[in-house]
Chains A and B, each alone.
Chain A
């Protein structure tokens, strides 16, 4: 029975259908995935060695990369945006993820009341659109609106054009982004902390361990793999960030490129067109995309390996 069947394509009514049969289930999804994700990602790397678009596309070797790293205007913009992205990342690590750990540790305490309400509130901004968050904070931080009120209650010092000063704009934009996303690390750390056995915590409490020591010697070492995952996610998201700057400062990263990050730089160069010519350069944009891709790979892969080892 099995012998005669195995010579034909075994399908729907077979205990062990052949791979031909499974293709009916697999192909629709896999084709869309390849055509709209895998292929365009890989082809972006190829396009970075070309210039022009469509039929007029010509191979130019590394010239896009040379332009990106050495052209006076473009390379200045690129390195500025690159540096800002790292500052953006550092602020997220220091503010968003540290707050996330603090919130998670507090929420983990079983005798703490109202934990569920706090969780709901902390996570709420995650569900908002970054665009809405950005616009909202832009209005709130505008001295035109809140300046008079702050002055009248003696907090006039808080009313400054935070988003208009080169010295503060990037920090404020980053903090708004932290405000939005802090719920993610909080809940990830919270889930990890819940996984720690109750007996361990109680035993430590009986010994009279302080909260800080409990965190330092028991909780933190046990959630270290999650710390690695959160760091990776933060890194990937920063190189993807665009909306928050776009909504608060525009695609040029105003004032005077002070908030220009890789996301906005990529948008201007590859898609919208850069000042002063305003014609997008697909090849150069693809080169920027490739650099982002390599950056992500260079950071994500070792961190993953590291956290797997420790986990």
Chain B
């Protein structure tokens, strides 16, 4: 841009850089401490808590992987999150497609009934949900989480995708229709590929709360075999209480997948996670 004037202007931003710089340190410092100390030993974290390890120690990670249920927790979380996400996207896009073409008073009522769910905190339904899961025989299994997550993500998914489909010009689908394509074919051959940006937004918006959810695993699951990653972390935190370097290795490992995803596509994450909030 205007290089000459921006150089002069840049001086004026020193206070701004100080504020944001200090906050950045405050954000990054704990994460730094978490990561570097997970490579130290049980005792060196006390003598040197903030610097890089003098000798890199990988034993914490090896023991977390080998003698704990960490991998099982991790896999449980992956399965739950992936299946829930796929269902949310599939069911949400089907409804959004119907909502964009079927326009009657009944469909408007149904639409508002669905998106009202965006404002409802599902946690306050927990007591009833436990009973429902018990009667379905799903309590204490990872399958108790999947339908809850689908219901949680469904309203926002319908909202974002319906808004998006309605911007697709009607001629595009109608001409395919006149060429003899069925409604469903139009859906998967034309609408779904066009929906890709909206699908990405919905996926990210739901991925983070699904992966980071502690509440529902905590109230639904006590069986070691079925624990999700975060619920497992609460157990390992207690179990390794005397060895903080190991605790930090567990914390690092459980935060890592989302942090890596975030850093590779931070722009999408920021847009996706705030999208639900700015629905007006």
Contacts and interface: CB of A to CB of B under 8 A. Distances in A.
Interface string A280-310: 0010011001101100100010000000000
A40 B125 contact: yes
B104 A19 contact: yes
Nearest to A308: B280
Looking at A33, A44, A137, A226, the one whose CB has the most chain B CB atoms below 10 A away is A33
29 contacts: A13-B183, A19-B104, A19-B107, A25-B98, A28-B94, A33-B155, A40-B132, A41-B120, A41-B124, A44-B125, A44-B127, A44-B128, A102-B19, A109-B16, A111-B5, A111-B10, A122-B24, A126-B208, A128-B259, A129-B258, A132-B255, A136-B33, A139-B247, A145-B49, A184-B277, A187-B274, A285-B126, A286-B128, A289-B124
Given A132-B254, A149-B50, A236-B119, A29 B94 contact: yes
B34 interface: yes
A289 B127 contact: yes
B270 A119 contact: yes
Interface in A255-290: 263, 266-267, 270-271, 282, 285-286, 289-290
Interface string A148-173: 11000000000000000000000000
B109 interface: no
B143 interface: no
B244 A145 contact: yes
A98 to B, nearest CB: 12
A28 B210 CA distance: 20
Contacts of A130: 212, 214
A36 B214 contact: no
Chain B, interface size: which category? 35 or more
B262 interface: yes
Interface in B214-233: 214-215, 219, 230, 233
B130 interface: yes
A133 to B, nearest CB: 8
Contact of B24 (A36, A44, A118, A191): A118
A26 to B, nearest CB: 5
A36 B132 contact: yes
A199 interface: no
Q: Chain A: interface secondary structure?
A: helix
Interface residues of A, number: 96
Contacts of A292: 121, 124
Contacts of B123: 240, 242, 263
A162 B177 CA distance: 66
Interface in B104-129: 104, 106-107, 110, 113-114, 117, 119-129
Given A47-B128, A132-B233, A184-B274, 19 more contacts: A25-B94, A26-B95, A29-B91, A29-B95, A32-B147, A37-B125, A40-B128, A53-B131, A102-B19, A111-B10, A121-B27, A123-B266, A123-B269, A124-B259, A128-B212, A140-B30, A240-B121, A271-B127, A285-B127
Nearest to A237: B121
A90 interface: no
Top 7 closest A-B pairs, CB basis?
Answer: A29-B91, A40-B128, A40-B125, A36-B151, A129-B212, A25-B98, A37-B151
Contacts, number: 251
B277 A233 contact: yes
Contacts of B269: 123, 127
A125 B128 contact: no
Given A13-B183, A35-B147, A106-B20, A271 B126 contact: yes
A103 B23 contact: yes
A129 B230 contact: yes
Contacts of B128: 39-41, 43-44, 47, 286
Given A28-B91, A128-B258, A236-B119, A136 B147 contact: no
* Chain B binding surface, main DSSP class: helix
Contacts of A149: 49-50
A187 to B, nearest CB: 5
A137 B29 CA distance: 11
A246 interface: yes
B107 to A, nearest CB: 8
Contacts of A30: 95, 110, 114
Contacts of A123: 266, 269-270, 273
Contacts of A47: 127-128
Given A191-B274, A243-B215, A120 B13 contact: no
Given A32-B91, A40-B132, A187-B270, A282 B33 contact: no
Contacts of B92: 29
B215 A242 contact: yes
